[in-house]
Amino acid sequence: MIPARGGLRSPYLALFRIRFTHSLQYRAAALAGFATQFAWGFMYILAFIAFYESNPHSFPMTLPQTVSYIWLQQAFMSFFFIWFYDNSIFSAVESGEIAYELARPMDLYARWFSQTSANRLAAGALRCLPLLVVAIVIPAPFRLVLPTEGTRILLFFASMFLAMGVVVSLTMLVYISAFSTINSMGTRIVVGVAADFLAGGYLPIPFFPDVLRFAVELSPFGAMQNMPLRIFSGHLYGEAMMQGLALQVFWLFALLLIGRILMKRALRRVVVQGG
């Protein structure tokens, strides 16, 4: 049963659309989320200002760059944080429901990939706009400074797209590991915390000690939120920015490939739980 050309990708797109509109239903939650994230971002900025005042010379970014970094991080949280798992996938694997999924004429990797991306995009779509609007109009030093060059904005979107791809393809590895562990909670937690820390979710990567910073910037974790947020704020530019983007493309394809291979191997010996 080979679908007609053009219709080849449509089931994944349809799935994406269903998930997206489903998540958009929770408008009140989005509003509460906006207020919360605004307050969190504000507190983080106040803390960074205090550190900045204690010694401006040790600060690895400028203050406006740090402020932009934090606002964007809050706005696009659901795009970038690993812990934003799709728990229904884990429970499908653990409960044995996965048998139905396997019976469908769909590629499981692509299916999970689009499902996870849709969840992340929808959760962020409602939240980011009000937060960004408010962050742009509040007075300095809290204001989110927009880049003036058009190319920077374009590259930011490109980088954000790649970063999300890297994040989702890493999450895919965690999903796939669930096939071989039965109880995936351990992997979920350890990978979640470690990856989010290394990606700069707790502290932006430029604040890391030099050796660690160098290593992390080359790793897939440096290809996540680190890149788009620093491109937008103007902390990365020129050659370093281009290298970073290339690295993002590399990690995206590498992780996709690894995920595909592991998925194939896992499915070959999959044991369906339960009856």
Partner 1 sequence: MKLYAKYFSMHIKSQMQYKLSFFFTCTGQFLVAFATFLSIHFLFARFDSVGGFTYEEVLICFAVMIMAFSLSELIGRGFDRFPILLGNGGFDRIMVRPRNVVFQVLASQVEFSRLGRFIQAVVVLAFALPRSGIDWTWDKILTLIFMIVCGAFLFFGLFVIYAAFTFFTLEGLEFMNILTDGGREHGRLPFSVYGDGVLKFLTYVVPLALVQYYPLLYLTGRTEDMRYMFVPILALLFLIPCRAFFKLGMRKYKSTGS
When asked if residue 51 is in the footprint of partner 1 (CB under 8 A), the reply is: yes
**246-265 binders of partner 1 (CB under 8 A):** none
Give the pair of three-digit tokens for residue 124: 């962020």
Sign of CA dihedral 231, 195, 168, 84: negative
When asked if residue 140 is in the footprint of partner 1 (CB under 8 A), the reply is: no
Alpha helices of the chain — where are they, by DSSP H?
Answer: 10-24, 27-54, 63-75, 77-80, 87-95, 98-103, 108-137, 150-181, 185-198, 210-218, 226-233, 238-268
Asked if residue 166 lies in contact with residue 176, where contact means CB atoms within 8 angstroms, the answer is no
Asked if residue 179 lies in contact with residue 265, where contact means CB atoms within 8 angstroms, the answer is no
**206-235 binders of partner 1 (CB under 8 A):** 207-209
List of residues 6+ apart from 45 with CB closer than 8 A: 66, 67, 70, 141, 142
Cβ distance to partner 1 smaller for residue 189 or 272: 189
Nearest-approach distance from CB 263 to partner 1, in angstroms? 24
Residue selected from 17, 186, 242, 261 as contacting partner 1 according to rule CB under 8 A: 186
When asked if residue 142 is in the footprint of partner 1 (CB under 8 A), the reply is: no
Cβ distance to partner 1 smaller for residue 181 or 243: 181
Q: Which amino acid is at 211?
A: V
Q: What are phi and psi of 274, to 5 degrees?
A: 75, 180
Nearest-approach distance from CB 52 to partner 1, in angstroms? 9
Cβ distance to partner 1 smaller for residue 20 or 197: 197
Nearest-approach distance from CB 59 to partner 1, in angstroms? 8
User: How many CB atoms lie under 10 A from the CB of residue 69?
Assistant: 25
Q: Which amino acid is at 139?
A: P
Nearest-approach distance from CB 13 to partner 1, in angstroms? 31
**84-123 binders of partner 1 (CB under 8 A):** none
- Residues found near partner 1 in the complex (CB under 8 A): 28-29, 32-33, 35-36, 39-40, 43, 46-47, 50-51, 54-55, 58-60, 183, 185-186, 189-190, 192-194, 196-197, 202-203, 207-209
